């Protein structure tokens, strides 16, 4: 197995197996391999497996990495390469080398190690399970001097021969006629390896019909186990030579059986994952509403209202927390309306500075203000014949609320600096995450404008109130992001499904999207776990000192507000009432910055 061996001066070497796609090395506790030494940074180097080879690269320009005495920013690693990080020596081994007591290694042993290494390399380059298992059995047959080999699996209580190969690396098509049922049944019952040196003269098997009929000589059989559960077995035989197999062959066959168990268990896991994904995709097809996924009672009520109000040319106010999908609902109102062939124009009233918002909404004429070199239509003119979506309308300044009210009443828009009004034929859909009635009571929003935009109100539930919808949404999104980032498909474990439904999701679907993107890219597992989504375990956490608990809460809370604000650091600092430098310092401490996610 690929290994890094750390060799500190005056200390015993420590070996670390490389089983992850990316392995970090540094003095920090969060690294996969924590080391000590002069001039070694918090995270000093990264070892990355690209599917074919291992590569090492410095974590940043301040980190010195030497490969075989030459300074490198990035280098492909070969067997026995020597790495120098600061003053710390590390050696890389691509594969395990044989260690024997005697000085002389037999040709047979060398061949065995070579074939083990050859097959280990195939594991990283061949992805088709059937091809891997055929290759494995070809190696086994060649190494043991058998003339045939079989890989047999237990499926639903019955035995199924999955691979049957001969010395010529060909498939044996009448496989059932070449194996002994009595020998197989003993291995299945006992779950221990078995060698039968001379089957026709063996006290236990000489009277077996299958042994007599097949005139068997040498047989060796090893069970395939996955954490104690019997999955099947490997069976090899030679019908011409007695006493062919020895204990050393049995040990070697057991190593290949362990490889086969891993391949088969992973294949079964992937198959189960694919079946579950197909079932969930079928459910998603059944319960989607346009581009919106979900079937909980609150969302069904929203869908019912959308279907009724879409055809009526009235103003709609959509209310809900940030990230609940207000724009998607606005699009559905447009797509189901008579205006579906017209434009759908959006503007975020809270994201544009006040001095530019009027121009963005209503347009401007040339020379209206410094920098207005051309006449430009506003969002109202661009939405003519279609729908205008005013997102975060609760953030609109009061002076613009007056002008918006006039436009909604008269259906006429005058550009900034202009005198001639433009008649517009539009439908307005507005949205806010504010308690708009409280804003009216506090004098922050005009009551008459509220009456104008709130002809029909739609209230979107937060993600935490949507029950099983969250699992369907997450299943759809993880599949989408795996395809988008060109990584292997992943599924959701039962543990993560439970954790997702218990988490509050202050950023709602937008927060879920961000965490699933991160999991799709960084997780090396076939099934997403709660840890991959940074969800707090449901078991009791260990009691922390008060200072540490405060630090952990502050770290998690800043991250959640950053997600809520889509990574906007300045807005996060303003919302939390802190200096922006506090947020920048926080991000510097985080191993995975919001920008990288």
Residue with tokens 């310092």: 585
354 and 420 part of one domain: yes
Continuous segment of H or E residues that includes residue 595: none
Provide the pLDDT for residue 327: 95
CA 126, distance to chain mean position in Å, is 22
Q: Is residue 545 part of a domain?
A: yes
251 and 298 belong to one structural domain: no
CB 431 within 8 A of CB 391: yes
The four Cα atoms 577, 579, 582, 587 give a dihedral, to 10 degrees, of 90
pLDDT of residue 386: 95
Q: Spell out the SS3 assignment of 569-583.
A: HHHHHHHHCCCHHHH
> Is there a single domain that holds both residue 261 and residue 301?
no
**Which residue do the tokens 């030679």 mark?**
238
Mean predicted confidence (pLDDT) in 162-174: 89
Phi and psi, residue 552, nearest 5°:
-65, -40
**Is residue 490 in some structural domain?**
no
Give the end of a domain, one of 25, 58, 93: 93
In terms of domains, do 226 and 248 share one? yes
Which of the four pLDDT bands, split at 50, 70 and 90, describes residue 22? confident
Where does a domain end: 423, 444, 461? 461
The pLDDT tens digits for 521-538 are: 988 877 888 888 988 654
Residue 391 covered by a domain: yes
pLDDT, mean of residues 420-433: 94
Residues 97-118, mean pLDDT to the nearest whole number: 51
Mean pLDDT of the chain: 83
* CATH number of the domain residue 70 falls in: 2.60.200.20
Residue range 435-489, pLDDT digits in tens = 999 999 999 999 999 999 999 999 999 998 898 899 989 988 998 999 999 988 8
Shared domain for 139 and 74, answered yes or no, is no
Q: Which two tokens stand for residue 278?
A: 């197909």
| Same domain, yes or no: 545 and 452 | no
Residues 305 and 451 in one domain: yes
Assess if residue 358 is contained within a domain: yes
Instruction: Give the domain CATH number at 365.
Output: 3.40.50.300
Tally of structural domains, the chain:
4
- In a shared domain, residues 403 and 336: yes
Residue 362 is assigned to a structural domain of this protein: yes
Residue 35 lies in a domain: yes
Q: Examine the pLDDT at 71 and tell me if it is beyond 80.
A: yes
Instruction: Give CA–CA dist 439/445, Å, rounded.
Output: 5
Over range 38-66, report the average pLDDT: 85
**Of the ranges 131-135, 258-262, 264-268, 522-526, which one carries the lowest mean pLDDT score?**
264-268
**Intra-chain end-to-end CA distance of the chain, in Å:** 31
pLDDT value of position 461: 93
Please report, for the domain that includes residue 260, its CATH number. 3.30.450.40
Q: Are 398 and 457 contained in the same domain?
A: yes
Q: What is the domain-level CATH number for residue 590?
A: 1.10.10.60
Cα–chain-centroid distance for residue 470? 16
pLDDT in tens, 540-570: 245 567 777 788 788 888 887 887 777 788 8
Q: Is residue 565 part of a domain?
A: yes
Position 506 in a domain? no
Quote the domain boundaries for residue 561.
540-597
pLDDT over 60 at 107, yes or no: no
Residues 165 and 222 in one domain: yes
Kind of pairing between the strands at 421-423 and 427-432: unpaired
Q: What does the pLDDT average to over 290-306?
A: 89
- Helix, strand, coil tally for the chain in percent (to 5): 40, 20, 35
Q: Give the three-class secondary structure for 343.
A: coil
Q: Which of 70, 93, 116 is the last residue of a domain?
A: 93
Q: Are residues 328 and 266 in the same domain?
A: no
433 and 318 in a single domain? The answer is: yes
């Amino acid at each position: 197995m690929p290994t890094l061996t750390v060799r500190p001066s005056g200390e015993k070497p420590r070996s670390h197996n490389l089983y992850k796609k990316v392995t970090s090395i540094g003095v920090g506790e969060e690294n996969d391999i924590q080391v000590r030494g002069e001039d070694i940074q918090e995270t000093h180097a990264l070892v990355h497996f690209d599917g074919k080879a291992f590569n090492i690269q410095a974590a940043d320009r301040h980190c010195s990495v030497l490969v075989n005495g030459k300074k490198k920013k990035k280098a492909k690693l070969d067997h026995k390469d020597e790495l120098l990080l600061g003053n710390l020596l590390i050696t890389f081994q691509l594969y395990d080398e044989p260690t024997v007591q005697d000085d002389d290694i037999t040709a047979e042993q060398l061949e065995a190690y070579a074939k083990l290494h050859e097959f280990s390399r195939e594991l990283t380059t061949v992805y088709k399970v059937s091809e891997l298992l055929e290759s494995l059995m070809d190696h086994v047959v060649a190494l043991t001097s058998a003339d045939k080999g079989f890989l047999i699996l237990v499926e639903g209580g019955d035995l199924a021969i999955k691979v049957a190969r001969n010395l010529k690396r060909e498939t044996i098509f009448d496989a059932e006629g070449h194996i002994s049922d009595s020998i197989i049944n003993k291995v299945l019952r006992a779950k221990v390896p078995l060698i039968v040196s001379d089957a026709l003269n063996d006290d236990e098997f000489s009277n077996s019909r299958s042994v007599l009929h097949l005139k068997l000589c040498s047989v060796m059989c090893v069970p395939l186990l996955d954490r104690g559960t019997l999955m099947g077995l490997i069976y090899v035989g030679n019908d011409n030579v007695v006493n062919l197999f020895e204990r050393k062959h049995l040990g070697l066959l057991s190593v290949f059986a362990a490889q086969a168990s891993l391949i088969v268990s992973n294949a079964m896991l992937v198959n189960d994952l694919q079946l579950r994904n197909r079932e969930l995709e079928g459910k998603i097809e059944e319960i989607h509403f346009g581009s919106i996924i979900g079937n909980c009672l609150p969302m069904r009520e929203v869908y019912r209202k959308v279907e009724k109000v879409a055809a009526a040319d009235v103003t709609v106010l959509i209310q809900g927390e940030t990230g609940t999908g207000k724009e998607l609902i606005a699009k559905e109102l447009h797509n189901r309306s008579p205006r579906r062939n017209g434009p759908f124009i959006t503007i975020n009233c809270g994201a544009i500075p006040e001095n530019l918002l009027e121009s963005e909404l209503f347009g401007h004429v040339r020379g209206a203000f410094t920098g207005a070199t051309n006449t430009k239509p506003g969002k109202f003119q661009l939405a003519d014949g279609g729908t205008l979506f005013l997102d975060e309308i609760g953030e609109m300044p009061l002076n613009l609320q007056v002008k918006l009210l006039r436009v909604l009443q008269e259906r006429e828009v005058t550009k900034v600096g202009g005198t001639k009004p433009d008649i517009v034929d539009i439908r307005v859909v507005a949205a806010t995450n504010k308690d708009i009635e409280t804003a009216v009571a506090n004098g922050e929003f005009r009551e008459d404008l509220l009456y104008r935009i709130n002809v029909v109100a739609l209230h979107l539930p937060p993600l935490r109130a949507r029950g099983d919808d969250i699992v369907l949404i997450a299943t759809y999104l993880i599949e989408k992001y795996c395809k988008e980032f060109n990584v292997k498909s992943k599924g959701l474990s039962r543990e993560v499904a439970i954790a997702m439904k218990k988490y509050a999701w202050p950023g709602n679907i937008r927060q879920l999207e961000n965490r699933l993107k991160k999991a799709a890219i960084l997780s090396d597992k076939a099934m997403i776990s709660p840890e991959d989504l940074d969800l707090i375990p449901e078991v009791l956490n260990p009691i922390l000192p008060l200072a540490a608990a405060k630090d952990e809460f502050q770290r998690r809370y800043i991250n959640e507000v950053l997600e809520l604000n889509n990574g906007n650091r300045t807005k996060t600092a303003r919302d939390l009432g802190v200096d922006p430098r506090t947020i920048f310092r926080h991000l510097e401490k985080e191993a995975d910055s919001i920008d990288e996610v």
